[in-house]
């Protein structure tokens, strides 16, 4: 076994999920994540946690959903399992990222709706999602398998403690600030962040962060005004999207366009009222992620990028008892800020051309 | 997909587990049983059952157990899952039948003990164990993969309804009888079966039968006297066993020998007091199983064989409230009855040289 698989498992179990003796752990295993599952099982055994592995296969799900009449009920046994779990580790890794492409949208939606409470219960565990670098993910990234593995482990095997410290500097500024301005090529956008709490997403439940890799700081903006262009290519609902442009007034999208994929952007915007508003402003700070790989788990954490999400806001960013932007969707879009760009908080430039104010090489105006 | 995989799934879901709409189904999937899992998921979707798939990998279990300090506790989340389940389908199929060979016996035993209650709860569901024909099972059987698939589907895709009718004839005679005698080459054994109920193991929960394939009639004998020789080769706890011979007095083994594997037979016998007594007399009636493949799920159902198990008896064979032979083990041993053999019930020959009394070709003495 590649020693990095073991390191990945150790980071996941110790840093990310903080597993302790006696924890009831659900390990959700993709069909091609077997090797990582073996390494994680070893870590769980060492810590004296209790292990139950579930099988997360797109092909199994596809067969089930396509055969079903669409009248789903909540799976009581799955709910009982998750209610009893302390930790839920999801090891993504299939053989084909399009394995459920021919499941009708309404079937998938009905299935998700029936399982909404189970999902909420899972969010009450120490849950962490990661992926094992597979050939299908390499293919999605347009990369050779060996090169993709290097990429993935560069992203995953960070010095998380020191990245957390660095991200905390940005979090402090966001927490103390009230108005953010993002200026870049074909982008000039302002958002309010007063009274909001930024999440230092350092790939650990201790930081309210549930992805490995992570490496972003995010908050929930309001009162968005201006224009933004997303120049990082993405796939949304199976459709390639290139250079989408959104125009905001009074916090809501009033116009949009795209070089490619305008249709799916339009579909997203029409989901509900909340889909026209932002649920997230995130600043990618993981410089182990140095290229787009068409996988949002990685792309949104890429160093020198900023992403905005249409739709639902995360509770962690909101004052207690307050509910943020609500929507059935949360769709991230990403813009490159490595050149000709600046991020201001209350008029102070915090990041210019990808460099932060506290870093070597930051240029005062 | 081979059409027989679909047929296998349909037999499992309909005939064996009798799955209905709304059933909470746990589908335990071996790493190489993926194709069968897809076919079963399709059947479950069609029937409107609720599906949760678990991942049953020897390599994951080995890594976990070897890393653990051996102080196991009951996994509460697994128990909650199984308690809530209506149906538990186990699709065996790994890549290496020796995948847990280097787990220390005491670790495995401590793990099994901690999970004993979970296992009992599983026995309260409509549980069925089957296997997907894999390359590792072919190898264990000393067979080419393509030939093994033919063998496995011949065993699994029977006309179960008509086999159940035929097995019922033997069950009736066993239920009405009180003393069984088995005579064969180097075998002359008598057992009491009065007051016991035979199980018509027709591969369906409707018959108290939980294996697919099945095809045996079994009961729980007492007061065993005489000698029996097991001439079907087997592997017990990783050790090959050839021509084991047991001698019984007053229901207990008083002497034993074997051409090969005498050591493991001795170990089994010394487990506890119940390990020296029989828990099962089974008559194999599945003629789709026409050769030994070193897999007890198939071997013990082979047509023209009789098997006896040292150790625990099944409750289904006992009068209500009565407990049968108790032991931590249940080890099956098999003898060929196709030649020079007869099985008598109360002095009447019921099977001679593999032919039953009600079949063409049965020879009166």
Phi then psi for A41, rounded to 5 degrees?
A: -60, -40
Bridge-based pairing of strands A126-131 and A211-212 is parallel
Q: In chain A, which stretches have pLDDT less than 70?
A: none
**Distance to chain A for B41, nearest Cα, Å:** 5
Enumerate the residues of chain A whose CB falls inside 8 A of the CB of residue B67: 41-46
pLDDT-based confidence at residue B176 (cuts at 50, 70, 90): very high
Residue A242: closest CA among A233, A250, A255, A229: A233
Which residue in chain B is spatially nearest to A41 when comparing CA positions?
B64
Q: Which chain B residues contact residue A56 at CB under 8 A?
A: 53
Whole-number pLDDT of residue A26: 98
Q: Is the pLDDT of residue B263 over 90?
A: yes
Asked whether the beta carbons of residue A54 and residue B53 sit closer than 8 angstroms, the reply is yes
The CATH architecture one would assign to domain A3-156 is 3-Layer(aba) Sandwich (3.40)
Q: What is the pLDDT of residue B91?
A: 98
Chain A residue numbers touching B27 (CB-CB < 8 A) = 55, 60
Nearest Cα of chain B lies from the Cα of A12 at a distance, in angstroms, of 16
Distance CA A95, CA B274 (A): 49
Q: What's the confidence (pLDDT) of residue B364?
A: 81
- CA B357 to chain centroid, in Å, comes to 25
Can you give the pLDDT at residue B363? 87
Q: What is d(CA B346, CA B360) in angstroms, rounded to the nearest whole number?
A: 22
- Chain A with chain B: Cβ pairs closer than 8 A: 160
Render pLDDT for A49-86 as a digit per residue (tens, 0 to 9).
999 999 999 999 999 999 999 999 999 999 999 999 99
Across the interface, of B57, B68, B81, the residue whose CB is closest to A77 is: B81
Shortest distance, CA A248 to any CA of chain B (angstroms): 43
Instruction: Write out chain A residues lying below 8 Å of B74, CB-based.
Output: 50
Q: What is the rounded CA–CA span in Å between residue A88 and residue A25?
A: 6
Q: How far is CA B309 from CA B128, B244, B279, B300, in A?
A: 20, 13, 5, 10
Question: Could you tell me which chain A residue has the CA closest to the CA of B48?
Answer: A68
| CA-based nearest distance A228→chain B, Å | 42
pLDDT value, residue A105: 87
Other C-beta atoms lying within 10 Å of the C-beta of residue B176: 12
- pLDDT tens track for B194-230: 999 999 999 999 999 999 999 999 999 999 999 999 9
Domain spans of chain B?
3-156, 160-356
Mean local confidence (pLDDT), B254-277: 95
> Which residue in A31, A37, A67 is closest to B60 by CB distance?
A37
> For residue B105, what pLDDT band results from cuts at 50, 70 and 90?
confident
- Residue with the bigger pLDDT between B321 and A279: it is A279
Mutate: best of A23, A76, A81, A111, partner B, most B CBs <10 A: A81
- Tell me the chain B residues in contact with residue A99 when contact means C-beta distances shorter than 8 Å: none
In the prediction, which pLDDT does B322 show?
Answer: 86
Which residues on B lie below 8 Å from A85 (Cβ)? 77
Name chain A contacts of B80, Cβ cutoff 8 Å. 80-81, 83-84
User: Is the CB of A41 less than 8 angstroms away from the CB of B34?
Assistant: no
CA distance B64 to chain A (A): 4
Whether the per-residue pLDDT at B141 is higher than 90: the answer is yes
The pLDDT of residue B79 is above 80: yes
Residues of B with Cβ-Cβ distance to A24 under 8 angstroms: 75-78
For chain B, what is the mean pLDDT? 96
- By percentage, how much of chain B surpasses pLDDT 70? 100
What's the pLDDT score for residue B237?
85
CB spacing of A81 vs B76 below 8 angstroms: no
């Amino acid at each position: 076994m590649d020693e990095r698989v073991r390191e990945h498992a150790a980071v996941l179990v110790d840093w990310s999920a903080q597993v302790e003796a006696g924890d009831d752990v659900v390990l959700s295993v993709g069909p091609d994540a077997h090797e990582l599952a073996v390494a994680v099982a070893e870590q769980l055994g060492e810590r004296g946690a209790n292990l139950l592995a579930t099988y997360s296969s797109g092909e199994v799900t596809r067969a089930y959903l396509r055969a079903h009449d669409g009248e789903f009920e909540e799976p009581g046994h799955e709910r009982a399992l998750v209610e009893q779990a302390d930790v839920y580790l999801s090891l993504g890794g299939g053989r084909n990222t399009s394995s459920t492409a021919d499941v009708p949208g309404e079937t998938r939606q009905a299935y998700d709706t029936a399982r909404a409470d189970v999902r909420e219960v899972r969010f009450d565990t120490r849950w962490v999602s990661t992926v094992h670098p597979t050939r299908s993910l390499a293919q999605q990234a347009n990369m050779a398998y060996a090169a993709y593995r290097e990429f993935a482990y560069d992203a995953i095997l960070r010095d998380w403690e020191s990245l957390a410290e660095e991200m905390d500097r940005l979090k402090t500024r966001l927490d103390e600030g009230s108005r953010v301005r993002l200026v870049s090529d074909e982008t000039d956008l302002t958002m309010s962040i007063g009274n909001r709490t930024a999440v230092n997403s350092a790939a650990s439940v201790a930081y309210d962060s549930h992805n490995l890799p992570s490496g972003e700081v995010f908050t929930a903006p309001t009162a968005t005004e201006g224009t933004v262009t997303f120049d990082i290519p993405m796939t949304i609902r199976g459709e390639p999207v290139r250079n989408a442009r959104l125009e905001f007034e009074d916090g809501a999208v009033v116009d949009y366009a795209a070089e490619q994929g305008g249709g799916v952007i339009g579909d997203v915007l029409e989901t509900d009222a909340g889909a026209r508003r932002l649920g997230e402003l995130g600043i990618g700070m993981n410089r182990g992620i140095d290229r787009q790989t068409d996988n949002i788990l990685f792309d949104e954490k890429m160093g020198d990028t900023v992403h905005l999400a249409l739709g639902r806001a995360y509770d962690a960013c909101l004052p207690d008892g307050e509910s943020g932007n609500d929507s059935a969707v949360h769709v991230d879009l990403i813009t490159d800020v490595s050149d000709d760009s600046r991020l201001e908080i209350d008029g102070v430039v915090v990041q210019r051309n990808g460099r932060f104010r506290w870093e070597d090489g930051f240029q005062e105006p």
